[in-house]
Structure 1
Amino acid sequence: MAIKKMRDEIRNDPEERRRFLTEARTVATLHHPNIADIYSIVEDSGDVYLVFEYVDGKTACDFLDESGPLALPDAKRVMKEACAAVDYAHAQGIIHRDLKPSNIMLASNGGVKVMDFGVARQAAEAINKAAQTNTIVGTPPYMAPEQEQGTVRRESDIFALGVCFYELVSGKLPFAGQGAGMLLNKMNGKHIPLSGVAAGLPAGTDEVVAKALDPDPEKRYRTAGDFAAALQSLPG
């Protein structure tokens, strides 16, 4: 098992605590082979602990740091399983909001587990409230442009999955710049073509990625499963 303690920013705010517990209980209803289960929610002396399934392995982020980009077949397999997890969660009305390689576990048994559904949002919102900032929840390089502007929808997760695939096969991020500069590139659809930073990819790869990263959420894949199917259709 793995245990995470609720942040003090939430513990000390009754409304944030209530919201955190509500969402944690909702996320705890998710049971899928590619999602790390929440086994229980324990309240003790005012503190709240989430008891998670322990996944033996390493995050995709750690793998990239240690071993470099994945071969295309391996990246496609990881994305197929991650997309299955996201599809399932979306069907239950839950949006992840913070998909990134550090939230994708590559288990030692060969499986893939997506971590931290929903719970990260409550923690981050409470921190932002305590600091009296307007920071949007998420990790900027993986956030869709509409999410950076305060609107989150299922297609925002599709965008993040597109960034994850791009990074898995190249070790790089698709959008240049930082802060407002990166957001402007996202809004204008100006990402660096994947074929320009990863050699030997089959024809059509750039188009598959570009659809996932489209600045207009209506033009992205409708579901994570659709994105996975497009990736699986690529040779290799």
Structure 2
Amino acid sequence: MASHTRVDADPARTARRALLSAGAYAMPSADVSARLGTDADGWARFAAHWDDLVTDPYAATDGTRRLRRYGTFALTDAGHITPRPHGGFLQPEATNPLYAGVERHFAPLTAAFVADPLLAALITLLGEVAGCLDERPEWTVMVHPFRVVAVAGQDGRPTPEGRHRDGVTLVSSLLIGRENATGGESVVYDADGAPLLRTTLGEPGALLLGDDRRTLHEVSPIHPLDPAAPARRDVLVTTLLPR
């Protein structure tokens, strides 16, 4: 980490204040890295899990080249994290206009991914942040590693459903990596559709947080910088809701 980079002494507290006041917050990579106890080498090691993702068959029917896996955990207020049995993913009605009411089934998280200490550190941080929105003895944590791919003449759409909610309490998007990609701007809106925050997650570890109960979000398509090669955008979407 560069010595000139200013790191927030308590990034979770800063995030909580922003979520309570504005409903969204972009936590810089330096703050996330410091809180999770990692660096550029750690992010590169963690990023290797994205090479084990598999095709999302639901997005493929809509022309989107997306790879993913899915898994859930229980997080207690004492900080205990426990994997839950693998199952389908169902979003509430009136949240995601493309998939609401459809139970989707994705490949489970790999054992190596579940055991990675960086994942546990991230879930712990998110639980601390979510505590400002709701105090519950246990959270359900839903974990979605994504890779979106674009080629010349075919955009990569991180959110093919458009502007939407996830039907949770806290929604987060952690950038893992980008290659040969332009676009991918994340926008968070208030309930009336006014933009609250715009950011393009560009550095591994950059983290976007939103109070999903009172905001909506979407991400613009990505395109190849060099049309002769594919573009990719790797993120980890993690959401929390009371059990």
Greater relative CO (CA pairs within 8 A, separation 6+):
2
- Taking structure 1 as the reference length, what is the TM-score of the superposition? 0.26
Which of these two proteins has the greater Rg computed from alpha carbons? 1
Whichever structure has more strand as a proportion of its residues is: 2
Whichever structure has more helix as a proportion of its residues is: 1
